[in-house]
């Protein structure tokens, strides 16, 4: 039961953290799915819409509007695959990279300030350790 209680606490806390980080984000109008798409492209490079959908665990059709909006804003670029003309890859544009970096910085600035001012050194060390442990769980 201890693991289950921990799982519930982690889910609740991660949801609250995600909501707070979203609130701290600069007013970019991207929405969480748009930010997630830009993040996937930033981490993994050029991808197809199907690959993005699989990584985000959504149906490819549900990304159609998001991808069109990101492309219209100049945040992504679509390129036709030279080997398969039916296939398109999606890349992060320079403007998209800059906007994503600004978004990450505003979130990181708020979180770093909160950690520095609200936690004592021992709590900061425990949080650092917990972050590594959470990464291990997510990589499993």
Tokens of 85: 């003309």
Which residues lie below 8 Å from residue 10, measured CB to CB, with a gap of 6+?
Answer: 134
CATH 3.40.470.10 is right for the domain spanning 2-139: no
Check residue 70 and give its pLDDT: 96
28: pLDDT strictly greater than 70: no
Tell me the pLDDT tens digit for each residue of 82-128: 888 888 999 999 999 999 998 889 889 999 999 999 999 999 999 99
* Span of 46-55, 80-89, 127-136 with lowest mean pLDDT: 80-89
Q: State the chain's mean pLDDT as an integer.
A: 92
Q: What stretch of H or E contains 17?
A: helix 2-24
Sequence ranges of the domains in the chain: 2-139
In angstroms, the CA 23 to CA 14 distance is 14
* Helix, strand, coil % in the chain, rounded to nearest 5: 75, 10, 20
Check residue 26 and give its pLDDT: 65
């Amino acid at each position: 039961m201890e693991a289950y209680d921990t799982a519930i606490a982690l889910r609740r806390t991660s949801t609250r953290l995600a909501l707070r980080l979203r609130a701290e984000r600069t007013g970019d109008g991207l929405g969480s799915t748009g930010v997630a798409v830009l993040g996937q492209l930033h981490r993994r490079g050029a991808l197809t819409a199907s690959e993005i959908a699989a990584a985000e665990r959504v149906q490819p059709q549900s990304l159609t509007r998001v991808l069109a909006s990101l492309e219209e804003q100049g945040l992504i670029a679509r390129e036709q695959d030279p080997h398969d003309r039916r296939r398109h890859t999606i890349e992060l544009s320079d403007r998209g990279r800059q906007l994503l970096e600004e978004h990450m910085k505003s979130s990181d600035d708020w979180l770093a300030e909160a950690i520095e001012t609200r936690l004592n050194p021992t709590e900061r060390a425990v949080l650092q350790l917990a972050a590594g442990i959470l990464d291990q769980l997510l990589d499993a």
